[in-house]
Each structure stands twice: as C-alpha cells, then as structure tokens.
Amino acid sequence: MKPSSRNFANKHEPLPSQRPDNTAFTQQRLPAWQPLLSASIILPFFFLVGLSFIGIGIGLYYSSNSIKESEHDYTSDKPGEPCYLCQNVTEPHCPCNLTFNITEFFQGPVFMYYELSNFYQNNYRYMISKDDKQLSGDLDSLKNPVNECAPYRVNSEQKPIAPCGAVANSMFNDVITLYYNANGTYVEVPLNGKGISWWTDYNIKFRNPTNGNESLNVTFQGTAKPNNWLTEAYNLSSDQYNTGFINEDFIVWMRSAALPTFRKLYRRIESGNFTEGLPPGEYQLRFEYNYQVISFNGRKKIVFSSVSWMGGKNPFLGIAYLVFGSLCTVFAIIMLIVFIKFQGKMDDDL
C-alpha cells in the first residue's frame, strides 16, 4: 500500500530545536562573584572564627560550672541504707526518709529532678508502645487502643487500658516531699508541680476525652488502669486541670529520653520562704517508695539544680565551642607558618 503524501511529509518534518532560550539565565551569563582565596583573606578569617568560638566556649563553660547541683541516691540496695527495707515490701506507699545537709546558700529558682539509670526509654518497641490518638482525647481510641500497646492494651478482664502501652505502664510514681529543719522543727518546703512540662504537650498534644457534660470518671468507665499504676488516670490529681491525660507528671514521663541515664523535672522550688533559694541547713527527703529499679540494676536519684541564662548544668556545649575554636586557631597558625616559609620561594619563582 502506497503511503499517503501527508504521512510522508510528516516523516521529513524537522524536529523542534532543543536549544535553550538565548537568555542570560538559561545560557548562564548571569554575573557571579568568584572570590580569590588568598592568605590575606583566609588567615584573618580562621583567626577570627577560632578566637570567637574560644571566647564563647569559655563563657558557656564558666556559666555551666557556676550552676550548683546536689545529688542524693536513694536506691538503697544495701543493708543500712535509708530505704533498704522498702526493697522487700510488696505493698505500695512504703515510707522512708533521707536526711542531707546544704552547706551554702543554693541560689533559686531551684529545680528538683528525679534521675534514673540503666533505663532504656529509647528502645524501639518501648517507644512505640502507646496510642497517640488516645492521648489526644479520641473517644474511639479510649475504648479500642491500637495494637502497638500490646501486651498493655487490655487487662486480664479484656477491658481496654487507659492510658495503654509500656511507656505509660512504667511511669515513675514515687511520691517525694522535702522538709527543712528550722530550729529543730521540720517545715515542709513548697514544691510547685505546675509548668514542668512542655507548653505544646500540655496545651496541644495531650487532651482528656470528653463526652458531652459527663465527668472524667464517667467518661473513663469501662476502661482499666495500667497494671503498675496505683490509681486510675482520672484520680492522678484532685485538680481538674492536672489530671487524666493532662497530668503534668504523666506528660513529662511520656516524653522518652534518648539515653539510658536521664533526668526528668519533678518540681520547682520558688515559693513561700524559699523563693530566693534554699538556705544552708539540714533537709529531709520523705518518700513513698513505689518504684522498684533493682530488678533491672537501675539507680534512683533526686537532684537539686539551679539554672543560669543558658539553662541547666551541661558542659558539653562549652567544650564543643572550645574544641572547634582551638582547631581553627591551630590550623590558622599552621597555615601562617607555611605561608611565611614558602612566600619567599614563590616570589623567586615569579
């Protein structure tokens, strides 16, 4: 069959040009700055950066070292230690006391942390063992948690656990109070538990489920508390703005730590007669010892810490600045020596 003249013509039609438009941008004719790196530019730059970082590092390191800390281990795994008897008590709320002294004024505001060791919150299976929709107040997830919460999804009676998961089940639940010995009489130091969590967690991420005008305990009916908890979620606090899923101790615990030894903020000391800080003298920590750590070779501490403009005590940032600044300065000196040594030979070659 003879091809039509039209098809024949299409076969021999020239293809459209693939050449970019003749513009400064497409033809790469835009003006550009190409610095000529010379010793007169590089050496002052390295010296300036190095000395600047060293100065900042010294300031950060000094500021971190100026923060006072007072650590008190109350694991009590050896006979004769204050809370040793609580290791063999199966009933909760085991009372024990730890007395310590502060020798100089502890500048406020003072932050009170609990520290756990050998506790791996960064384990993947542990980290995902929670239901974010349930914690955000979703009613369906309250009654039907996700499978990731297993084996802490339902209890032995097949009731859904609220909050579900391994993270919530392992929540730190020691109750700690602090007393100051004022002329032979122990006076309780007021501890503030409000504002210890991240603002976004308390106001956005964590929400209590609501079902019309029903109270929180009615909304939670049909659910069970986590196995290791001493009470239901809606009884965590008598304050309606600090109970259920918006309890700040619970919210602080739910933010997983990256390292096996970590601290979490427990309380702030900034009111009453202790607004300015903790005066020297004798203090006593009184515990309701509920949280066992001996089974995984863990340790428990209470840490009192002051703060500075850069936050809590952490020398890492200052050390990092000092190391980087020192390296820049050393390289600048080496380059200066090489430049001085070979400058004359380069001039002769020219």
Which string of DSSP letters, residue by residue, matches 102-169?
E-S-EESSEEEEEEEES--TT-HHHHT-S-HHHHTT-HHHHHS--GGGTTSSB-TT-PBBSS-SHHHH
Percent of the chain having pLDDT more than 90? Answer: 61
- pLDDT tens digits along 283-336: 999 999 999 999 899 999 999 998 877 777 888 899 999 999 999 999 999 988
> pTM of the full predicted structure?
0.80
Report the run of H or E that residue 100 belongs to, with start and end. strand 94-102
User: Residue 349 pLDDT > 70, yes or no?
Assistant: no
Which string of DSSP letters, residue by residue, matches 156-216?
TT-PBBSS-SHHHHT----EEEEEEEETTEEEEPP-B-TT-S-HHIIIII------TT--H
- pLDDT tens digits along 135-172: 999 999 999 999 999 999 999 999 999 999 999 999 99
Chain-centre distance for alpha carbon 64? 18
Q: Which has more confidence, 205 or 212?
A: 205
In angstroms, the CA 258 to CA 298 distance is: 16
Q: What are phi and psi of 72, to 5 degrees?
A: -140, 110
In angstroms, the CA 196 to CA 113 distance is: 10
